[in-house]
Amino acid sequence: MLGHGSGGKLSAELIRDVFLPALRNPVLARLDDQAIVSVNGQRLAITTDSFVVKPLFFPGGDIGSLAVHGTVNDLAMGGATPLFLSSAFIIEEGFSIAELRRIVNSMQQAAAAAGVEVVTGDTKVVERGKGDGVFINTTGIGLVPNGVELSANRARPGDKVLLSGSIGEHGIAILAQREGLEFETQIQSDSAALHTLVADMLVAAREIRCMRDPTRGGVSSALNEIAAQSGVGIQLEEHEIPVCEEVRGACELLGLDPLYVANEGKLIAIVAPAAAQALFKRCGVIRWD
């Protein structure tokens, strides 16, 4: 029987036990956030993600912008330049057209800001009670520049872990909104597209082993995946990890560990020691070892 996924160990087991054995091929088996395939000498990145966020609207974004950022970021983590998106909507019967319009407009704005176009789509309406307002799936396609090789199995002993900013804001913003928790200052989701930062980083340093955007399951789950796939251990200095006061406070109150809380606009990079300095100077990426 299926439990509810948190992006952690349970999801990993589901992939390992159900999906991989049935669908196994060398590209899928890499289990990166995106597949990279060669077509006529060009390397294409493909990724897909489904968005079932509740609430649909939250401080700092909504399901529409999130569906763009999530997929753009999954492409970017492979070093790809995002080009085109598809979007499929599963809409519950009776859902407000005004809210749907708001979501689609937000999607358009996020796509325009990220420089990608939604070039195909699909809509399905399901009976009332068989959906939760709106579910969105987006698939993204992008081009990987020559020489860029990012994969979760490339981390080596001695590498450094970089983080692009403070963690936990998206998860706490969603939780606070969903549970009606009120804090003195409203925590905004960090939902944002990361491909421009990734492009800058790839220019600044060659020896970047892999990148991950620590979404569901947070920084810990992302680093655990990298550690498992690369066969390395990863040590973090807890006090070096930036967590804003509001998120820290909320986590203390709710008994959560910020390392396991979702982000939607942050990236982790595993880089060679020399690259860490260059990236730190050029891109202002926050560093910790």
Partner 1 sequence: MKYLDEYRDARIAQALVAQIVQHTTRPWVLMEICGGQTHTIMRYGIDELLPCGIELVHGPGCPVCVTPLETIDKSIELALRPDVILVSYGDMLRVPGSHSDLLRAKSQGADVRIAYSPTEAVKIARSNPDRKVVFLAIGFETTAPANAMAAWQAKRQGLNNFSLLVSHVLVPPAIRALMVSDTNRVQGFIAPGHVCTVMGCKEYEDLVRDFRVPIVVGGFEPVDILEAILMLVRQLEAGEAKLENQYVRSVSYAGNLPAQQIMTEVFEVADQKWRGIGSIPQSGLRLREEYASFDADRVFDLGEITVDEPAECISAQVLRGLKKPPECPAFGMRCTPENPLGAPMVSAEGACAAYYHYRRHPVAS
Binding residues (CB under 8 A) for partner 1: these are 1-4, 9-10, 13, 179, 181, 245, 248-249, 252, 254-255
- Give the nearest distance from C-beta 49 to partner 1 in angstroms: 23
Closest to partner 1 by CB, 40 vs 238, is 238
Q: CB within 8 A of 185, min separation 6: which ones?
A: 246
- Give the nearest distance from C-beta 168 to partner 1 in angstroms: 14
Closest to partner 1 by CB, 142 vs 217, is 217
Closest to partner 1 by CB, 259 vs 285, is 259
- Give the nearest distance from C-beta 95 to partner 1 in angstroms: 21
Q: CB within 8 A of 250, min separation 6: which ones?
A: 172, 175, 176, 181, 183, 187, 256
Closest to partner 1 by CB, 206 vs 248, is 248
- The count of other CB atoms within 10 Å of the CB of residue 277 is 13
Closest to partner 1 by CB, 210 vs 247, is 247
- The count of other CB atoms within 10 Å of the CB of residue 24 is 10
- Give the nearest distance from C-beta 40 to partner 1 in angstroms: 42
Distance CA 110, CA 162 (A): 26
Q: Is the peptide bond before 82 cis (omega within 30 degrees of 0)?
A: no
Q: CB within 8 A of 190, min separation 6: which ones?
A: 60, 165, 169, 170, 263, 264, 265, 266
Would you list the DSSP string of 24-72? Answer: --HHHHT--SSEEEEETTEEEEEEEEEE--SSSEETTEEHHHHHHHHHH
Closest to partner 1 by CB, 54 vs 281, is 54
- Give the nearest distance from C-beta 245 to partner 1 in angstroms: 7
Helix (H, G, I), strand (E, B) or coil at 22: helix
- Give the nearest distance from C-beta 184 to partner 1 in angstroms: 13
- Give the nearest distance from C-beta 235 to partner 1 in angstroms: 13
Residue 225, burial from CB neighbour count under 10 angstroms (0-12, 13-18, 19+): buried
Closest to partner 1 by CB, 16 vs 101, is 16
